[in-house]
Amino acid sequence: MEATNTCADCAVRDSALCASLNDGELMALNALGRRRKLARGEVLAWAGDDSLICGNLISGVLKLTASTPDGREQIVGLAYPADFVGRPYAGQAEFTVTAVSEAELCLFPRAPFERVLEDHARMERLLLQRTFAALDEARARMLALARLSAAEKVTGFLLDMADRATGCRAMPPGPVTFDLPLTRGEMAEVLGMTIETVSRQLTRLKSKGAITLAGARGITIRDRELLRGRD
């Protein structure tokens, strides 16, 4: 991992945990931070291993997975640019964290990061606030899985992916083109659907002119209002 000498070139500087830190807090983190790049499919942390690192996701998408009693892998969450990855004050990693696209992170050794938090109470509060926000998002996803139709699930997923996976928090006007970091099987797993249902919904959205598909992963959202069903 490469040492981080400045935060000036960080793509998520204005939206990650660091966004609200003062100069002293940034200097404390800067002394610990190291950049690390992951290839698609590379594992950052294994569930059950010692929890050694945490940090900010700068680019790419990570999946958090757990193993079921019969040995299957279940996706329990996704991490997008500006999300915080890892758990301070946890001795072991709870989930396996894997890159589903090329990714870059700014990582901190967990124990020294905990000491920085203890010396900077405001930073600790900010991290707690982000943790609660992530918990609220997880609960909202659970409600969506229980109540939304298949069409609504796929539509919401595509809009959220276009917004968050591309690194921007608000979609710009006009068509948005990006590569889906997840396979259709992984999409189905996240949304609680079958691969066949996901494929049918994508084909339906393509047929109505809301999206364009290119290859296995390329997608363009052509009309957001049409995608939302406001036609």
- The ranges assigned to domains in the chain are 2-133, 148-227
CB 173 within 8 A of CB 222: no
CA 19-121-96 angle, to 5 degrees, is: 65
pTM for the model? 0.81
Say how far apart CA 160 and CA 199 lie, in whole Å: 18
Is the pLDDT higher at 164 or at 201? 201
Task: Say what the pLDDT of residue 44 is.
Answer: 96
CB 164 within 8 A of CB 80: yes
Range in 142-151, 152-161, 201-210 with the lowest mean pLDDT: 142-151
User: Where residue 230 falls among pLDDT bands split at 50, 70, 90?
Assistant: low
Of all residues in the chain, the percent with pLDDT exceeding 70 is 91
| Residue 1 confidence (pLDDT) above 60 | no
The CATH number of domain 2-133 is 2.60.120.10: yes
Say how far apart CA 114 and CA 118 lie, in whole Å: 6
User: Where residue 4 falls among pLDDT bands split at 50, 70, 90?
Assistant: very low
Is the pLDDT higher at 169 or at 114? 114
Task: Say what the pLDDT of residue 173 is.
Answer: 63
User: Where residue 223 falls among pLDDT bands split at 50, 70, 90?
Assistant: confident
Other CB atoms within 10 A of residue 45 CB:
23
Say how far apart CA 118 and CA 124 lie, in whole Å: 7
Task: Say what the pLDDT of residue 6 is.
Answer: 55
Task: Say what the pLDDT of residue 165 is.
Answer: 62
| Residue 152 confidence (pLDDT) above 80 | yes
Say how far apart CA 25 and CA 185 lie, in whole Å: 42
Residue 223 sits at φ, ψ, to 5 deg, of -145, 105
Task: Say what the pLDDT of residue 170 is.
Answer: 47
Task: Say what the pLDDT of residue 169 is.
Answer: 46
Residue 89 sits at φ, ψ, to 5 deg, of 70, 15
**pLDDT tens track for 30-62:** 888 899 999 999 999 999 999 999 999 999 999
Three-class secondary structure of residue 73 per DSSP = strand
- Considering the domain 148-227, what is its CATH architecture? Orthogonal Bundle (1.10)
User: Where residue 172 falls among pLDDT bands split at 50, 70, 90?
Assistant: low
Q: Which two tokens stand for residue 12?
A: 């998520």
| CATH topology agreement for domains 2-133 and 148-227 | no
Is the pLDDT higher at 4 or at 142? 142
- Which range, 6-10, 214-218, 219-223, has the best average confidence (pLDDT)? 219-223
